[in-house]
Structure 1
């Protein structure tokens, strides 16, 4: 069976990262042919989250899950995370290129299969298109909030 590599791209919010790492661990526990790389966009505005993130990563890590902290980038002030996301775009592309190059040099290594974006990073789906793989958005919200969103959209 072919081995597959999933690339999760995450914001540095602890709630989002916790959910993502739990899903990643569940996926690799269910299928030994999966490996997952989680790219974390580090927040330039809140350095206090770094030790908490490091602690969370240390408790979740497995040989099928690899974590890459993207470099801090000074982004121009603006709307919410848009400047940070755009400033990280080249770093994300470079990290994924490194993953693809690494796999290409080792026979039997996984193939890039999916991108999974945090709900705030859906604007990066064009990167998945450039690599020729599908992209998915991972909503780290609970079922009640997602149900509420569906209810609001239905107009009932």
Structure 2
């Protein structure tokens, strides 16, 4: 994927002037192969290797947040502050039941997304944060499109 392709799809000249910071834009197929940037295998690896607190990794079902205690367990150690570890089997159960997973700032954790975000930042002269949304089923969406920022 190249920045040139993304800029052409979004509208090289019109997107920054008319849409950026004013409206949301959903462009199905803008990224030819999303798995090249981020896949379920990558997501599984990140969950296994990182401490992803409930503000960063969340589950939603029917438009409502699922309490983190339903898919995490508390961990305390003598030298670290308490935190919650994701329990993969519980996470999987919720996903199989139709929940959607949201991982904020995935670009901080995965280099291909980080590189992609950096390219967008250079073009747009704005900060870019990549949030990922994943679901195993085609149920109700985890989130609803937001209104444009006033």
The structure number with the bigger radius of gyration is 2
Fold conserved (TM > 0.5)? no
Which protein has the bigger helix share?
Answer: 1
- TM-score using structure 1 length: 0.30
TM-score, structure 2 as length reference: 0.30
